[in-house]
Amino acid sequence: MKLKIIEDKDLLNHLDKLPSDSLVPFLLEGGALRGGFISATRMVNQMRVNHGLGILESLVLGHAAMGAGLLSSNLKGGDKYGLKIECGGPIRGLTAEADYEGNVRGSLFENPIPVTEPLKDFNLSPFFGPGFLTVSKYHGTSAEPFSGQVMIEHGNIAQDLALYFKQSEQTPTAFSLSVDFDSTGRVVGAGGLFLQVMPGASEETAGAVQDTVLGLPSIGKALAGGLKPEEFLASHFSGFGLNILDGRDVRFFCGCTRERFSSFLASMSEKEKSSILNEGPFPMQAVCHNCGTTYTYEKGELETLLR
């Protein structure tokens, strides 16, 4: 993977003032509820630069990437979560995944997303349309994940993720995902939170926490102001026996390498290899859809590799 350089000096100065991106798991009421908080302003900005995203695209993929990151807060070593949306609206779909080590990556099926008129607000429902959300959990090195799927009802990643857990796992869950832009369209704050009600939690406790979640201020704006995840959680959930667990850093990262792409090219069928060598174009560029990294191959290198 190649990280592209963020060249906006004003944005870099702003990012330098913020705490590092992190994922912070926590418990409420002695474990009756569990949750996670993600601070991801740098991650979303790096994803934006690597994929060449506009405002709308940064909002959509940022929400998905942070949603995947939040899902990973309770993972064990070697596991990872992935989510995929396939829909009939202009977005068409997306993927995002996050592993135990805090590595998050993702991509849009359409970039840029077709827009026929200026955006009036950040309601994304019309851009999703009908479709499906699939959530997959990968255990260790197992090639086959456990997957569940729900039909999109809200056209809002946070609400549709909550719907997934309600329908597929019968676990009441709330998500809040937030990307804050300044007046010039820069991403100055990005973060999110999720909470799950565990078996045995009282309805009174669950209801009180739900009311608190519904009344939360913009997480993106709070993080843009320099607030740390632990400070945000303490200011809103200290009355519920907040127990913050050990967190970890999160980052935009993809495990692709030039060697992996070369192995893939070498494993193609003879017909495909012949087509590349005879038709080009040269140099050939292979692009990783998960991170936007481009690997360039000159004709001579391809001839050696494919033959």
The answer to whether 292 and 2 are in contact (CB under 8 A) is: no
- pLDDT band of residue 114 (cuts 50, 70, 90) is very high
The answer to whether 160 and 152 are in contact (CB under 8 A) is: yes
Residue 274's domain comprises 258-306
Out of 15-19, 38-42, 112-116, least confident range = 112-116
| 3 located within any domain | no
Q: What is the pLDDT of residue 276?
A: 92
Q: Based on the fold, state whether residues 273 and 129 are members of the same structural domain.
A: no
- pLDDT per residue over 184-210, tens digit each? 999 999 999 999 999 988 889 889 998
| 181 located within any domain | yes
Q: Based on the fold, state whether residues 60 and 130 are members of the same structural domain.
A: yes
The beta strands (E) that lie in the chain are given as 22-28, 33-39, 80-87, 93-99, 103-108, 131-138, 146-151, 173-181, 187-197, 243-244, 248-249, 251-252, 284-287, 294-297
Query: What would the two tokens of residue 225 be?
Result: 């102001």
Q: Based on the fold, state whether residues 68 and 197 are members of the same structural domain.
A: yes
Across 261-282, b (16+ Cβ under 10 Å) vs e yields: bbeebeeeeeeebeebbeeeeb
For the chain, give the percent of residues with pLDDT over 90.
Answer: 88
Q: What is the pLDDT of residue 8?
A: 98
Domain count, the chain: 2
Q: Based on the fold, state whether residues 68 and 169 are members of the same structural domain.
A: yes
Q: What is the pLDDT of residue 121?
A: 81
Tell me how many helices (H) and strands (E) the chain has: 11, 14
Q: Based on the fold, state whether residues 44 and 101 are members of the same structural domain.
A: yes
Q: Based on the fold, state whether residues 99 and 142 are members of the same structural domain.
A: yes
CATH number at residue 86: 3.55.30.10
Q: Based on the fold, state whether residues 50 and 177 are members of the same structural domain.
A: yes
Q: How far apart are CA 11 and CA 45, in angstroms?
A: 9
CATH number at residue 291: 3.90.1280.10
| 2 located within any domain | no
CA dihedral 227, 229, 235, 240 (to 10 degrees): 180
Q: Based on the fold, state whether residues 108 and 42 are members of the same structural domain.
A: yes
Q: What is the pLDDT of residue 140?
A: 78
Q: What is the pLDDT of residue 1?
A: 95
Q: Based on the fold, state whether residues 164 and 287 are members of the same structural domain.
A: no
| 158 located within any domain | yes
Q: Based on the fold, state whether residues 87 and 185 are members of the same structural domain.
A: yes
Assess whether pLDDT exceeds 90 at residue 144: no
| 98 located within any domain | yes
Q: Based on the fold, state whether residues 164 and 123 are members of the same structural domain.
A: yes
- pTM (predicted TM-score): 0.95
The beta strands (E) that lie in 11-63 are given as 22-28, 33-39
Reply yes or no: is the peptide bond before residue 281 cis, omega within 30 of 0. Answer: yes
| 202 located within any domain | yes
From 203, 172, 180, 196, select the one nearest 58 (Cα to Cα): 180
The answer to whether 43 and 250 are in contact (CB under 8 A) is: yes
Average pLDDT over residues 70-76: 91
| 54 located within any domain | yes
Q: What is the pLDDT of residue 280?
A: 87
Across 202-211, b (16+ Cβ under 10 Å) vs e yields: eeebbeebee
| 10 located within any domain | no
Q: Based on the fold, state whether residues 214 and 275 are members of the same structural domain.
A: no
